[in-house]
Amino acid sequence: MQATNLLVVDEPKDWKIPVESVTIIAARDYLSPEAAANFRNARVFNLCHSYAYQSLGYYVSLLAEARGHHAIPSVATLRDFRSVAIARTFGEEIDEAIQKALKREEGNEFLMSIFFGQTLDRAHAQLGGQLYRLFPSPLIRAEFHRQKGWVLTSVAPLSTDQVPDSDFDRIAEFAARYFSRRHPTRQPKQRFLYDLAILVNPEEPRPPSNERALKYFAEAAHEVGFYVETITTADAERISEFDALFIRETTAVDHPTYQLSRLAHAEGLVVIDDPWSILRCANKIYLAESLAKARLPAPRAIILTRQDLEGATPEELTYPLVLKLPDAAFSLGVRKVENAPQLREELSRMLNESELILAQEFAPSQFDWRIGVLDHQALFACKYFMAERHWQIYNWDAQNPRHRSGKSEALHVEFVPDGVIDLAIKAAKLIGDGFYGVDIKQVGDRLMIIEVNDNPSVDAGVEDAALGMELYRRVVRSLRRRIERARA
């Protein structure tokens, strides 16, 4: 169902830029009950002069969200605009792009205008796009100050009366380009209730879903009423065209996948993986602390810092130890050490990448349980066996590519020990209500949570070997239910 583009302004006569496929509407008219009935599926671009609390602009974004419309900016983004701390935090996340874009600028202050995700100077295009994804709003002004390097000090929405007349031709050009980005032509007889974007990265060597699995997700989504389009992070500016985003590219916090997840959530989409799940799952130290607080079983662990380089092995742990970078994934950034000299060597190297390192007891086993959890229920179960002659599931140093990962065995959930399923669901609840892969070791009678992953692997022939197409149907049904709950 193609969304209607609404551009909401204080007075339509003050908006002098004609844009195809966009309806110009006064704020007071949009806030009327009639508008709620007339526009069932809309993208609302809020260009009111003021977004102050309880102003017309504030209520446009607030009621847009209440009506199930995609508000740009959202109320959450309006709150972000008011926070200097958030501006500085996001500025640190994109610091490399800031320094690159502004390296030729002189003086100690710089203002950048971003119109519909685009900048006046092409040299600032990448930075402008990143700022738009972090603070989605039609017109934005970012302020930077030079210290040791350039620092983002504030980001604020612009109203049209703050834009110089000389810039309106460019705004018209940018708006036309922005709104011309549409879905590929669909077959005329096809009717879909909702639009689903599946985020992929064709260049990724180890994606969370193989090509066959992506095909099955799309087929299942069509069955329940979704139009499906695969996108990449380069399509970020189009994200508000969709009702839901399903991420099938490996996620990370300092990465475009997180930025796109945050943008999609801010624009009102249902998102798997949501930004807070990415944040929480990405850091193994966060998980270790959460498991300890919840008193859920896990390998004994402590956090090591530079002060531990010269010290003895902490009394709580004995060799061998497993050292993990906080953002380790796919067995990368994980090292086993057998003695104190190895500990110092590996710890010294790893501390160059992170100020904190997680040290865990080594708990050998033939396999790890992987329990897929969705909506607080077990979805699938797999045994991941260790790589040949290796202590991990993946052995990236293996000369033979066939030996780089262990075998797997999918089981129906009802054939998995109850304790494993119960523990997986409890662990997933610490993160949220999304889609997670919970890894559990079973050593004798002892169960231990190894980690909780967002963006869990679903490969055709592996995780779906027990459930088949029903696995894919349950995931897309969850996406549809979430959309319908949000709009009820």
On whether the CB atoms of residues 403 and 383 are closer than 8 A, the answer is: no
Q: Binning pLDDT at 50, 70 and 90, where does residue 257 land?
A: very high
Q: Binning pLDDT at 50, 70 and 90, where does residue 189 land?
A: very low
Residues 303-355 have pLDDT tens digits of 888 877 766 556 666 888 889 888 776 556 788 888 888 888 888 888 888 88
Q: Binning pLDDT at 50, 70 and 90, where does residue 410 land?
A: very high
Is residue 273's pLDDT more than 50?
Answer: yes
Using alpha carbons only, how large is the chain's radius of gyration in Å?
Answer: 25
pLDDT value of position 74: 85
Is residue 184's pLDDT more than 60?
Answer: no
Q: Which is more confident, 463 or 81?
A: 463
* Range 460-469 average pLDDT: 95
Is residue 394's pLDDT more than 60?
Answer: no
Is residue 125's pLDDT more than 70?
Answer: yes
CATH number, span 194-273? 3.40.50.20
79-167 and 194-273 agree in CATH topology: no
Q: Rounded to whole angstroms, how far apart are CA atoms 59 and 52?
A: 9
Which superfamily does CATH assign the domain made up of 367-454 to?
ATP-grasp fold, B domain (3.30.470.20)
Mean pLDDT of the residues in the chain: 86
Domain spans in the chain, listed from the N-terminal domain onward? 4-72, 79-167, 194-273, 304-358, 367-454
Is residue 218's pLDDT more than 80?
Answer: yes
Q: Which is more confident, 482 or 395?
A: 482
> Regarding the domain delimited by 79-167, which CATH topology (the fold level of the hierarchy) does it fall under?
D-amino Acid Aminotransferase; Chain A, domain 1 (3.30.470)
Query: Which amino acid appears at position 172 of this protein?
Result: A
pLDDT value of position 469: 97
Q: Rounded to whole angstroms, how far apart are CA atoms 350 and 333?
A: 8
* Range 97-113 average pLDDT: 93
pLDDT value of position 195: 92
> Considering the chain, what percentage of its residues have pLDDT values greater than 90?
43
* Range 139-160 average pLDDT: 92
Q: Binning pLDDT at 50, 70 and 90, where does residue 67 land?
A: confident
